[in-house]
A and B are shown apart, each in its own frame.
Chain A
Amino acid sequence: MSERVRNGAYDDWLDAIGDDEGYYVECENGHGWLPPRRVCPDCGSRELSEEPLPEAGEVATHSTVHVPTPQFEDDAPYVIAVAHFGPASITGMVRGADPEDVEIGTVVGVEVGERATTGDRAVVFRPR
């Protein structure tokens, strides 16, 4: 699904990940989120700052997807995972690993890849 109008904060965040300058949004109490956030959903703090995303994250849960949405038809099967990067958590596809080798606790980096199906940008984790 290519689009002409940017989803500002989301596309800015992808740009930053692509430039190896990924960040997350953190409140004064250490709760981490992906942008845009004006308020912390956990504690209600509005004192939010952009913090550099840790270079390495840890897979918290994962699944090999065999039946994708149409936008990922040619990508399947692929591994989707949630990974913790410090206080922020991210959902992405794991590439560069045999699906059988992806486990809870696998250490990954995050980068911007392309969907095989549409060429659109996608969040990609790669074991490191």
Chain B
Amino acid sequence: MSDPRVAGASVTRFGKHPERTGRDLFAEAGLAALDRSGVPADDVDALYYGNFMGEIAEHQGHQGPLMAEAVGLTVPATRYEAACASSGAAIRDAVRAIRNGEQEVVLVGGMERMTNVGTAAATDALAIAADDLYEVRAGMTFPAAYALMARSYFDEHGGTREDLAHVAVKNHEHALVNDNAQLQKEISVDEVLDAPMVAEPLGLYDACPITDGASAAVLTSEDYAERHGLDAPVAVTGTGQDGDNLALHDRQNYAATPAAAGAVAEAYADAGIDADDVDFAEVHDCFTIAEVLAIESIGLYEPGKGISAAREGETTRHGETPINLSGGLKAKGHPVGATGVAQLVTITKVLEGTHARADAVPAADVGVAHNAGGTAASATIHVFEVKA
């Protein structure tokens, strides 16, 4: 089975673009990815596109063909919606289509426009990734759901708000050289601890910002890349996805994300790697506690042991296994539907040595992307490796 190659990848600047339409954001990322790939637009067989709240933000459904048109394509184009894992799910189906030989060249991507609706409406929109009847109508918010998980983690394994603050400080520091990041600002542990509370024990600086942005990548079959002499050394060698009960209260354990662990098992087996092979990862740190749960689910830490990783410096750019060299969702920003492919973009650049933080892992040849939807009722994992 041939491993799809990443021929070109791009993101818009993440941040506040309240007046830019979704189609324009996606066109910027998509055209840049096509240009970098060297693949002629005529060769693109399909668009796999992630978006979560397009109906709310832009009163726009049916975004697949709209976004294909925005990058000059008339191809089969489907929107994937798996909350914050929307474009992770899009990558997965793109990989499968290439592997099974149905398609040779696909565009994957995602877009989210969020700041135009304001913070209150965006909070409302994010909440509907939870169970509307039994969670949202009971007062659940997206930060509250992760706060419930954090409280449960602290109770089961120990840990403090200060441990979590180190995750935020690390990711902000990583983003300082990422010119596409929403927040390029150094912060201190005390600033995180003193920030206003959002949902206890999580404060404002434990949470990712509300972000507009888009991401895109051209994936091709290995054969296509060879035939056309593409400079595409990075391959997607493993894919995994798993699910869980939608409502947090219906799960056995609120201090773990088994869907992510299931997706990891599948993706690592698919790639033929184990956690020891992972040189760095981009994980879904929508909240600081989410990064802790993520590094445990991808096998870098035993359950209950990930809480101290950032504080101990193990996941900083100087550490053994850097996590979120991009700045993560926390500092880079989280345009929900674009996040999965944005992780792919970062990992590709790090493996190619062109990322501003690539010097953290100069000999890296395995990177992992962990993308979670809601409280990880959806999770996708992708393994990327450098091939000769």
Contacts and interface: CB of A to CB of B under 8 A. Distances in A.
Given A61-B155, A63-B201, A41 B124 contact: no
Interface string B134-174: 11111111011001110110010000000000000000000
Contacts of B134: 10, 34, 90-91
A123 B199 CA distance: 19
Interface in A30-84: 33-34, 41, 60-73, 75, 78, 80-82
B139 to A, nearest CB: 5
A14 to B, nearest CB: 9
Interface in B165-204: 196-202
A36 B33 CA distance: 46
Interface residues of B, number: 35
Contacts of A72: 139
A78 B140 CA distance: 11
A68 B141 CA distance: 6
B143 A67 contact: yes
Nearest to B200: A64
A82 B249 contact: yes
Residues of B contacting A: mostly: helix
Given A64-B199, A66-B197, A89-B249, A120 B140 contact: no
Interface string A96-118: 00000000100000000001000
Given A70-B120, A80-B139, A91-B138, A64 B197 contact: yes
Interface string B111-124: 00000000011011
A22 interface: no
A75 B139 contact: yes
Contacts of B196: 66
B245 interface: yes
Contacts of B198: 65-67
A33 B131 CA distance: 13
A16 interface: no
Contacts of B149: 61
Contact of A89 (B143, B152, B200, B250): B250
Most buried by B among A41, A67, A68, A70: A67
A104 B199 contact: no
Contacts of A82: 148, 248-249, 254
Nearest to B127: A69
A93 B248 contact: no
Most buried by B among A10, A69, A73, A75: A69
Nearest to A89: B249
A53 B134 CA distance: 16
A67 B198 CA distance: 5
Contacts, number: 102
Nearest to B152: A61
B273 interface: no
Most buried by B among A60, A66, A71, A92: A66
Given A10-B133, A63-B199, A69-B124, A80 B138 contact: yes
A17 B137 CA distance: 15
Nearest to B142: A69
B247 interface: yes
Contacts of B250: 33, 41, 89
Interface string B90-133: 00000000000000000000000000000011011001000001
Contact of A65 (B133, B135, B139): B139
Contact of B151 (A10, A61, A123): A61
Contacts of A120: 137
Contacts of A66: 196-200
Contacts of A10: 133-134
Most buried by B among A33, A41, A63, A93: A63
Given A63-B199, A69-B124, A93 B143 contact: no
B141 A91 contact: no
A93 B139 contact: yes
Contact of B200 (A63, A71, A104): A63
Given A82-B254, A122-B139, A63 B123 contact: no
Contacts of A75: 139
A68 B142 CA distance: 9
Interface of A: 7, 10, 33-34, 41, 60-73, 75, 78, 80-82, 89-93, 104, 115, 120, 122-123
Given A64-B200, A65-B139, A115-B139, 16 more contacts: A60-B249, A63-B199, A63-B201, A65-B199, A68-B139, A68-B141, A69-B123, A71-B124, A80-B148, A81-B148, A82-B249, A90-B134, A91-B139, A91-B248, A120-B137, A123-B137
Q: Which 6 A-B pairs have the closest CB atoms?
A: A63-B147, A89-B249, A61-B152, A64-B200, A91-B138, A82-B249
